[in-house]
Amino acid sequence: MEIILALLKVFGVLIGAVLAAAVLTWYERRMLGLWQDRLGPNRVWFFGIGIVVADMLKMFFKDDWIPPFADKPIFVMAPAIMLGSIWMAFAVVPFAPGIHVIDLNVGLLFFMGMSSMAVYGVLLGGLSSNSKFALIGGLRSAAQMVSYEVFMGLSLMGVVMITGSFSLVKIVEAQGDLWFVVTQFLGFIVFMIAGIAESHRLPFDLPEAEQELVQGFHTEYSGMSFGMYMVGEYMGVVLVSVFITTIFFGGWLGPDFLAWTGIAWLSTVTDFFWFAVKAAFFISFFVLLRAAMPRPRYDQLMSLGWKIMLPLTLLNLVVTGYVLLMQT
């Protein structure tokens, strides 16, 4: 029974993440349409949601062409690394009390480790393509990731200092009184910006800037290996959103509005509901950013990271440490 439940959780998270990413492709386009006075996909099924299935079918049946000039093994491996590492990061997310694959005592570190692994997917894909655009895309993403990784980790250290643990369940539970977004506001801002950069979403999608680089690191990819990058990217968006929710917005915490029924397991449902609502809000926010923000220049991106974000993070760390010391 234990095992079946564990397996259920594992597959639930695996499939759930992919499904979320798939629906997100449709959701993003609809939202963009709404914000840009357009329609978005609206032909297949209700509100055009069938486009998800249509896209998927198309992707599966396209020829997965491997360029003869590419470094074949690495070329094939790269999208798998990207998708796999993001998938792995979902393992430590507590969706509701007890609904998680594993509660690691180093959960936060595991997440950061996995998100760093994803960089290899991008970098190796760019390098192994043996194409100018892909190479430049890969190099850009490597530099961007390395820069933003630094304070992404540091921005979370305030939360860890307050909680005294890397376990995500502990972090959520520690927010029972007050969400960390209040006490760690600077950390939240920095983490969110770094998160966008990590998942190279607009406005920080310089590695795949289509106006300059065709498609950046995945220029040479086609068919399902391109699809893996696509899904990976959307899963990255979901991942960052659920982490923001978990770390700064109290995870599943929220009023248990179904408590009057007196059915025990319904409280888990409400918990998950609150979790999903919060995550959906951040996903929508990511989409809004895409609808509204132009892409910065590469040097602007770099100076934002090193000259503003890093000092802000360090300031946050120092202030948090000082306040904690004062309290003790």
Partner 1 sequence: MLENIISQFRTLYGVCSHMFRRYAKRGPMYEVVGKKKLWETVQYPEEMPYLAPRFRGRIVLTRDPDGEERCVACNLCASVCPPDCIALQKTEADDGRWYPEFFRINFSRCMMCGLCEEACPTYAIQLTPEFEMGEYHRENLIYEKEHLLIDGQGKYPGYSFYNVAGKSIAGKDKGDGDGEAPPVDIHSLLP
- Phi and psi of 96, rounded to 5°? -160, 170
Please state, in angstroms and rounded to a whole number, the distance separating the CA atoms of residues 269 and 88. Answer: 24
Please report, for residues 71, 113, 234, 273, 293, the alpha-carbon distance to residue 143 in angstroms, rounded to integers and kept in the order given. 22, 17, 21, 38, 22
- Phi and psi of 222, rounded to 5°? -145, 170
Q: Which tokens sit at 36? A: 């840009």
Closest approach, Cβ 302 to partner 1, in A, equals: 17
Residue with tokens 């890093």: 310
Beta strands per DSSP E along 16-133: none
Closest approach, Cβ 65 to partner 1, in A, equals: 23
Residue nearer to partner 1 on the CB measure, 34 or 54: 34
Closest approach, Cβ 250 to partner 1, in A, equals: 24
Residue nearer to partner 1 on the CB measure, 108 or 206: 206
Reduce the DSSP state of residue 257 to 3 states and report it: coil
Closest approach, Cβ 60 to partner 1, in A, equals: 25
Residue nearer to partner 1 on the CB measure, 9 or 29: 29
- DSSP of 168-209: HHHHHHTTSSS-HHHHTHHHHHHHHHHHHHHTT-TTS-GGG-
Q: Which tokens sit at 107? A: 């959960």
Which stretches of the chain bind partner 1, using CB under 8 A?
33-39, 288-289, 291-293
Bridge partners for 99 per DSSP: 96
- Phi and psi of 245, rounded to 5°? -60, -50
Residue nearer to partner 1 on the CB measure, 78 or 283: 283
Residue nearer to partner 1 on the CB measure, 76 or 288: 288
Closest approach, Cβ 285 to partner 1, in A, equals: 9
Closest approach, Cβ 40 to partner 1, in A, equals: 8
Closest approach, Cβ 7 to partner 1, in A, equals: 41
Q: Which residues contact 288 (CB under 8 A, 6 or more apart)?
A: 31, 35
Please state, in angstroms and rounded to a whole number, the distance separating the CA atoms of residues 42 and 321. Answer: 52
Residue nearer to partner 1 on the CB measure, 35 or 272: 35
Residue nearer to partner 1 on the CB measure, 139 or 289: 289
